[in-house]
Chain A
């Protein structure tokens, strides 16, 4: 395939935008996490770095990690150990490619957008197993196995919820899914949209291994799980950037699939004057806040409870959801579909 100069320039600009967005998302998300958690717990959080309400705290943290000595344990499988942060981080960056920010503003409008998201989003779990196994550390090994078991168990509710959305919208293109939502799916009056939204939200918190589903990195028993032996920039990419990048990406996906993406939250003419990207980012920030809110609110779920919850509750509900959506789309009378 031949690409001319202009097409190359477009690609370079796109690459530059996304590569700027992900570390920014990590920095801003990290700061938001400090501040939201602090205020929910009646603390102030960072107040000194940068002067104004400690805005530069995460930047300072990042610089600190840059200046840390790079240590790879003698016992580790060094090649895999070095490769793991790449295998964790790169798929996270690639999620951002297909999320539509505005009607025409997205990096690539893939026909298979939704399928691509689910496929690329699950590659990180291989990286986590690589990190945990190659460390040759007992904590890391336990953490890796827990991550693997958790990520696969909670991927299924996400897949089922996404399939329900695809059935309602009749397309896998993310632009098409947004266009299909006159009302956001999460606000449909019949319950299936809300169930799908809840499945997706719970599943994505577990995919990020955040509280209440953070057994893989439970610091009070297994240090930081697969990342126990990591330090400096490798740790930043494998854990910090990946977790924050995941959180913002999942918030964007949830906003697109269930909250109507770049469209107004309700189909009301005067709201159309607000530009689409403002709606999109508003919904994204709302989802991020929801994820952050959970951390100081819920206690950690035990490993066996976590597996039981996925396999005995979320997945059966997801399967039932698929059938309910199918029955709704095929057999509900046109008059109540609206």
Chain B
């Protein structure tokens, strides 16, 4: 385990990186602004709908079933939060730790099975 200074020092690099990444995008966009033509025309700024004048708003109603997937994802992503610490130490925990994870994954599997039985994983 590195000592405090270097440990957080690594994350300083990551932070700098994020900033420079943002800078790279903005820089390229600024460059494009310098060299690209700018000939405004109302037609250019209408919403693209395969060449036809757009009908209604772009923010239209969509299939509600996507939200089920979001819900299921939360279940499994929270699992990942528990899974990784366990994956590192489970050799030391032995059978007890393993059985606990079997039960935990079993509960999640039941959730998935329930969703499958309710037929929310398929389009009708």
| CB of A136 closer than 8 Å to a CB of B | yes
Q: Which residues of A contact B72 (CB under 8 A)?
A: 311
Q: Is the CB of A18 within 8 A of B25?
A: no
Report whether A315 and B76 are in contact in the complex, using a CB–CB cutoff of 8 Å: yes
A234 touches B29 (CB 8 A): yes
Within 8 A of A (CB), among B45-100: 45-50, 54, 57-60, 62-63, 66, 69-70, 72-73, 76-77, 80, 83-84, 87-88, 90-91, 94-95, 98
B84 touches A111 (CB 8 A): no
Chain B at the A interface: SS class: helix
Q: How far is the CB of B121 from chain A (nearest CB, A)?
A: 5
**Docked CA distance A94–B15 (Å):** 10
| B95 near A73: Cβ-Cβ < 8 Å | no
Asked if A53 is at the interface (CB within 8 A of a chain B CB), the reply is no
Residues of A within 8 A of B66 (CB): 145, 148-149
Q: Which residues of B contact A14 (CB under 8 A)?
A: 13
Please determine whether A223 and B48 come into contact, CB atoms closer than 8 angstroms.
Answer: yes
Using an 8 Å CB-CB cutoff, how does the interface string of B22-51 with A read, 1 for contact, 0 for none?
101110110111011111000011111110
Whether A97 contacts B60 in the complex (CB less than 8 A), given A66-B32, A319-B105, comes out as no
The reply to whether B91 and A89 form a contact with Cβ atoms under 8 Å apart is no
Contact status of A139 and B48, CB under 8 A, knowing A90-B22, A94-B14, A315-B76: yes
In the assembled complex, the Cα of A327 lies from the Cα of B32 at a distance in Å of 56
A143 to chain B, nearest CB (A): 11
List chain B residues, Cβ under 8 A from A322. Answer: 83, 101, 105
Q: Which one of B9, B36, B102 lies within 8 Å of A323 (CB-CB)?
A: B102
Residue from A18, A72, A170, A233 with most neighbouring chain B CB atoms (10 Å): A233
Q: Quote the shortest CB–CB distance from B117 to chain A (angstroms).
A: 11
Q: B28–A233 contact, CB under 8 A?
A: yes
Are B22 and A66 touching (Cβ within 8 A)?
Answer: no
Cβ of A27 within 8 Å of any chain B Cβ, yes or no, is: no
Instruction: Answer yes or no: A135 CB below 8 A from chain B CBs.
Output: yes
Having A66-B31, A70-B38, one finds 17 other A-B pairs with CB under 8 Å, namely A15-B20, A68-B36, A69-B37, A69-B38, A73-B45, A86-B25, A111-B2, A137-B48, A148-B66, A159-B76, A166-B84, A172-B88, A223-B50, A311-B112, A311-B121, A316-B112, A330-B94
Sort A-B residue pairs by CB-CB distance and give the 4 closest, nearest first. A136-B58, A304-B123, A90-B21, A152-B73
